């Protein structure tokens, strides 16, 4: 989990499932919004985004507008819980909720805890990335496998989900306690990815059982998995956030990454202005900046693939496609995601998950 950090500037519609649209120029923020945001003087962000990816965007925003930023890196589940608890207490602290857990964000929208704001940048984004001018996709995040290149031979790195199952089954003894993934009980994005895989693949429970049979370890963040893989305690991790994996591979010669050629799930990192935000104008201005061509380019520069239609540059659609391959399935921003929070669905999933992890069923 990231530490809370306060960064002060130096100066005092219904969602569609289809992609579409063409390139749109950045729309400058209205002078009135900028003036009101500067008078508020601050924007507070609750986020699950790592500082390495998020802070360059924050610094650029500060330089552009001279507005202080309170950046709270607290993880997906804590973003959700804090927005709910603070709203219930009548003490809303966040202006922006920015998270990789799409279903938790949609649950906040369903509870009426997120504000409606039609960003002037919205026209430049796919319809499947915006829900009723309330929840905005900010990046596309394919999930990857992360591995220690010194401990796992390149020809053993699986290229399909079936290949991953076979690797775990054929090398059960060697991989005992050496494989990791997200903990779906502790991580919001971990649960989102697990449920998405369950709905879109035929061998989800085969993989879960093979993972349990090698005494697979689960963690609450991609960063925790990275530490274990770099140290050599683990050899391989799957369903790791791909943008992080690609960046870590640049930083460490011991780390490699791969995307499955048959099916790669991709979530959207989503952002919203909170209902009752203490600095609503500053929150809206930050959201606009995040969605702008400049903001998307800053994120791309730190390995976060942009969603903006017509964007060309680092990690644009063509460049990302060459890395991931063609079989990426993006999770749309829509109300169906809130079904993941249905107690019956969650109870049934975790009952079967625990059985699989014990090698039962």
Query: How far is it, in rounded angstroms, from Cα 320 to Cα 299?
Result: 14
What's the domain count of the chain? 2
Q: Please state, in angstroms and as integers, the Cα–Cα distance from residue 160 to each residue in 12, 80, 265, 268, following that order.
A: 54, 33, 12, 22
Q: Tens digit of pLDDT for each residue in 202-259?
A: 999 999 999 999 999 999 999 999 999 999 999 999 999 999 999 999 999 999 999 9
pLDDT at 14 over 80: no
Do 317 and 222 fall into the same domain? Answer: no
- Do residues 261 and 315 both lie within one domain? no
| Three-state SS letters, 251-270 | HCCCEEEECCCCCEEEEEEE
Q: Tokens 């960063």 appear where? A: 223
Residues 212 and 344 in one domain: yes
- Percent of the chain at pLDDT above 90? 87
One domain for residues 257 and 276: no
pLDDT per position as a tens digit, 35-92: 999 999 999 999 999 999 999 999 999 999 999 999 999 999 999 999 999 999 999 9
d(CA 241, CA 332): 17
- With beta carbons less than 8 A apart as the criterion, state whether 288 and 119 touch: yes
Predicted local distance difference test score (pLDDT) of residue 360: 76
CATH number, domain with residue 84: 3.40.190.10
Residue 26 has pLDDT above 70, yes or no: no
Q: Are residues 221 and 297 in the same domain?
A: no
Query: Could you report the per-residue pLDDT of 289-305, keeping only the tens digit for each?
Result: 999 999 999 999 999 99
d(CA 207, CA 175): 14
Match 């659609």 to its residue by tokens.
317
- The residue-averaged pLDDT of 122-133 equals 97
Higher pLDDT, residue 154 or 91: 91
Tokens describing residue 76: 């997906």
| DSSP secondary structure, 173-238, as one string | TTTTT-EEEE-TTT-HHHHHHHHHHHHH-S-HHHHHHHHHHTT-EEESSHHHHHHHHHHTS-SEEE
Query: Are 208 and 93 in a shared domain?
Result: no
Predicted local confidence at residue 123, as pLDDT: 96
Are 224 and 345 in the same domain? yes
How high is the pLDDT of residue 5?
35
Helix (H, G, I), strand (E, B) or coil at 136: strand
**pLDDT score, position 22:** 31
| Residue 37 exposure: Cα atoms within 13 Å on the Cβ side | 26
Longest C-alpha distance within the chain, in Å? 64
The answer on pLDDT for 20 being more than 50 is: no
Pair (330, 350) in one structural domain: no
Look at residue 31 in the predicted model and tell me its pLDDT: 82
pLDDT at 361: 62
Looking at the structure, tell me whether residues 132 and 179 fall in a common domain. no
Percentage of the residues of the chain whose pLDDT score is greater than 70: 91
Q: Quick check: 16 pLDDT over 80?
A: no
Residue 64 vs residue 13, higher pLDDT: 64
What average pLDDT does the segment 320-328 reach? 93
Are 301 and 196 in the same domain? no
pTM value is 0.87
pLDDT at 29: 61
Which pLDDT score, from 0 to 100, does residue 28 have? 55
pLDDT at 161 exceeding the cut of 50: yes
Q: What is the DSSP letter of 5?
A: E
Q: 316 and 345 in one domain?
A: no
Range of the domain at 217: 142-265+340-357
Q: Is the pLDDT of residue 135 over 70?
A: yes
pLDDT of residue 314: 87
Whole-angstrom CA distances from 34 to 115, 124, 275 are 18, 21, 19
pLDDT at 196 over 80: yes
Q: Are residues 42 and 109 in the same domain?
A: yes
């Amino acid at each position: 989990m990231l530490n809370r950090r306060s960064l002060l500037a130096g100066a005092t519609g219904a969602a569609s499932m289809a992609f579409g649209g063409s390139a749109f120029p950045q729309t400058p923020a209205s002078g009135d919004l900028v003036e009101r945001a500067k008078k508020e003087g601050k924007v507070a962000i609750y986020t699950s985004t790592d500082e390495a990816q998020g802070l360059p965007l924050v610094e650029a925003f500060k330089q552009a507008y001279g507005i202080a930023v309170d950046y709270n890196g607290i993880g997906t589940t804590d973003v959700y819980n804090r927005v709910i608890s603070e709203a219930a207490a009548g003490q809303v602290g966040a202006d922006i909720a920015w998270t990789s857990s799409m279903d938790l964000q949609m649950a906040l929208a369903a509870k009426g805890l997120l504000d409606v704001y039609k960003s002037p940048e919205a026209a430049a984004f796919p319809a499947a990335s915006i829900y009723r001018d309330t929840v905005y996709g900010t990046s596309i995040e394919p999930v990857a496998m992360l591995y220690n290149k010194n401990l796992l031979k390149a020809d053993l790195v699986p290229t399909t989900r079936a290949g991953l199952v076979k690797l775990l089954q054929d090398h059960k003894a060697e991989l005992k306690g050496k494989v990791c993934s997200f903990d779906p009980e502790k991580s919001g994005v971990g649960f989102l990815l697990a449920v998405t895989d369950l709905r879109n693949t035929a061998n989800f429970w085969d993989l879960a059982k093979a993972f349990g049979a090698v005494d697979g370890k689960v963690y609450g963040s991609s960063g925790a998995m990275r530490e274990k893989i770099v140290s050599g305690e683990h050899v391989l991790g799957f369903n790791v956030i791909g943008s992080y994996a690609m960046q870590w591979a640049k930083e460490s010669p011991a780390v490699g990454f791969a995307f499955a050629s048959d099916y790669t799930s991709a979530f959207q990192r989503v952002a919203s202005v909170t209902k009752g935000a203490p600095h609503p104008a500053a929150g809206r201005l930050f959201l606009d900046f995040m969605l702008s061509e400049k903001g998307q380019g800053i994120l791309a520069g730190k390995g976060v693939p942009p969603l903006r239609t017509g964007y060309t540059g680092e990690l644009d659609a063509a460049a990302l496609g060459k890395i991931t391959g063609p079989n990426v399935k993006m999770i749309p921003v829509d109300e169906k995601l809130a079904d993941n929070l249905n107690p019956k669905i969650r109870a049934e999933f975790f009952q079967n998950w625990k059985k699989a992890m014990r090698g039962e069923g």
